[in-house]
Structure 1
Amino acid sequence: MTQRHRHHYGQDPSQWGELFLPDLPAGARHQGVVVVIHGGYWRSTYGAELGAPLAKDLAEQGMAAWNLEYRRAGNGGGWPATFEDILAGIDKLADLVEPHALDLRKVVALGHSAGGHLAVWAAGRPKLEGLVLGEGGQVDNSSDGVRLTGVVSQSGVLNLAEAERLNLSDGAVANLLGGPSSEFPGRHRIGDPMAALPLDLPVYAVHGIKDDDVPLSMSATYVDASRAGPVPAQLVMVPGDHFALIDVTAEAYLTCRELVGRLLR
């Protein structure tokens, strides 16, 4: 049976995650954790209910999964709260090691759409050293923070500058960052996964061939830009539309699940 445990990592009602766990033999530990980060163009219309079926399926396949909720634009999120929550939500796993027998030597993020952006952005956390994330605060890059060891991006918005230029989802990027890049160039640079390249961990940029919501260029330009790095990202094309990637019965999702399992091995 799958166990489910909800934990808060802050005082806001949106600062929580739900840990989905498979049963283990007595004395055993879970081998790694998958952080599931939902999409919805960073808006409050969508929440962690999008990630719950994925986390449940991963647990049924023997993987520990942390379905992460966070403040979104429209409910206290945006800049810098959404970004701070992703880092704090991942770091919360350190508090859950003993009560839930977690092993954090491998922590893989699985993020869909805007969640793909946040997952790949979080993977670049070490590159944010010394950069101010929000007014009045620094990014926490302390050595005891939980680091991602791999990412599977599911049609992620991985190129914020291009997403702004294309005006995806009626200004979603400016809505997230509090204004256009002409007004807030620092925010747009820090918030763009492209700015953290090259990374030293594997990223699979999975994209549906019939995706009309997030253009293929979001994944393709990121992968192209990563090629000079020590661990180039890989573009993986799958059948289906934007939502096939989070349909646990679809081939597109099953490919993502297989890649997650590969990263945990």
Structure 2
Amino acid sequence: MLIVAAGVAVGVRQVTQPGDGAKATSTPTSVTPETREISVHRYPYLPIGTGDPRQDYGDLYLPAGNHADNSVPLVVLIHGGGWTARYGKTYMEPIARALAAQGVAAYNIEYRRIGSGGGWPTTFRDVAAAVDYVPTLDRLNPEIDTSDSTLVGHSAGAQLAVWAGTRNPATPREFGDPGSRWKPTRIISLAGPLNLERAADTGDTRVTRILGGTPAQVPDRYRAVDPIENIDPTVPVTAVHGTADRVVSPSQSMSFVAAVQRAGGKARLVLLRGQSHSALVSPRSAVFLQIIDMIAASTRPSA
């Protein structure tokens, strides 16, 4: 089970996509000293009348103060939870707030999962649309800099992040128009299942459930969204994994990094000794600040 600290939404402003005719609304929320000036803005990433407005949105956390155009680096966050409705974006909120406190904008996305209208292919379509909304997010918030950005996912969200960030023109059009696919500068996978075929073949029923079958039954689906089948050597990937992870085997990160390196790409494996699956995103863990510093450092020019 994930152990997370409760987050406090501050200055939430409901924002709709340009041109949909709806008015923006503002909702006052409670404030704590630690988060008094961090603002959170909600953006639906699907056109009005499509998707599920209760789930198809992302929350943009902006650092306190006024900022010049293109001066605030961006991190996109994708939560995991076995692709199921049991877990949502809430458990990534402490990461979003910690990044905003360090001067980084964090776009924490929600999407439909198994049990809440998701599954194959809806979950993947939602995530593709959410990350491809980043250029619009940039236009609506000129202070953020999307020219040098980081895509981060945890667990199933790491699979979604690595896949969404490395989609190539051969990826089916249903997962985003090849001409408008957003491409991150780098990707950080936290405890991600990055070799779905191997995971399914070794008994991971969460994978066969989200894809609707085994690799033998639905091979095209695995080829379409398995990160190890969609390697882009031009996008650097850091795969972080706890050696005590009993939910997603560290071998998932190991095999993916080796495959990227064989393909001539840049991939780095970071193994955290004795750390569990949830430790990488739990504010109560010994490595939480290390993870925050790693993500924040990736956005700096010297990284």
- Going from structure 1 to structure 2, the CA distance change for 1:93 and 1:24 (only over 3 Å counts) comes to farther
Aligned to 2:211: 177
Q: Is residue 2:103 matched to residue 1:91?
A: no
Q: Is residue 2:252 matched to residue 1:218?
A: yes
Aligned to 1:190: 224
- Classify the secondary structure of the residue corresponding to 1:104: strand
- Classify the secondary structure of the residue corresponding to 2:178: coil
Among 156, 165, 172, the residue aligned to 1:132: 172
Q: Is the 8 A contact 1:208 1:241 kept in 2?
A: yes
Aligned to 2:287: 252
Structure 2, unmatched stretches of 5+, are 1-36
Question: Once the 2 structures are TM-superposed, how far is the Cα of residue 26 of structure 1 from its aligned partner?
Answer: 4.8
Question: Once the 2 structures are TM-superposed, how far is the Cα of residue 255 of structure 1 from its aligned partner?
Answer: 2.9
Question: Once the 2 structures are TM-superposed, how far is the Cα of residue 249 of structure 1 from its aligned partner?
Answer: 4.7
Among 166, 187, 196, the residue aligned to 1:151: 187
Distance in 2 (CA, whole Å) between partners of 1:244 and 1:117 is: 18
- Classify the secondary structure of the residue corresponding to 1:111: strand
Aligned to 1:141: 178
Matched letter for residue 156 of structure 1? G
Any residues of structure 2 matched to 1:69-84 within 5 Å, and which? 69-84=110-125
Aligned to 2:24: none
Matched letter for residue 132 of structure 1? P
Moved more, 246-255 or 230-239: 246-255
Largest Rg, 1 or 2: 2
Q: Any idea what the Cα deviations from partners look like across 1:60-91, whole Å, max 9, x if unmatched?
A: 11100000101112222121111111111012
Among 187, 195, 200, the residue aligned to 1:164: 200
Matched letter for residue 206 of structure 1? V
Aligned to 1:5: 41
- Going from structure 1 to structure 2, the CA distance change for 1:31 and 1:15 (only over 3 Å counts) comes to same
Structure 1, unmatched stretches of 5+, are none
Distance in 2 (CA, whole Å) between partners of 1:119 and 1:212 is: 21
Among 198, 202, 223, the residue aligned to 2:236: 202
Identity %: 35
Q: Any idea what the Cα deviations from partners look like across 1:169-190, whole Å, max 9, x if unmatched?
A: xx11111112222221100111
Question: Once the 2 structures are TM-superposed, how far is the Cα of residue 163 of structure 1 from its aligned partner?
Answer: 1.0
Distance in 1 (CA, whole Å) between partners of 2:144 and 2:278 is: 30
- Going from structure 1 to structure 2, the CA distance change for 1:194 and 1:83 (only over 3 Å counts) comes to same
Distance in 1 (CA, whole Å) between partners of 2:146 and 2:111 is: 21
- Going from structure 1 to structure 2, the CA distance change for 1:26 and 1:48 (only over 3 Å counts) comes to closer
Q: Is the 8 A contact 1:238 1:251 kept in 2?
A: no
Aligned to 1:35: 76
Q: Is residue 2:270 matched to residue 1:236?
A: yes
TM, length-normalised to structure 2 = 0.80
TM, length-normalised to structure 1 = 0.90
Distance in 1 (CA, whole Å) between partners of 2:292 and 2:71 is: 17
Question: Once the 2 structures are TM-superposed, how far is the Cα of residue 258 of structure 1 from its aligned partner?
Answer: 2.6
- Classify the secondary structure of the residue corresponding to 2:133: helix
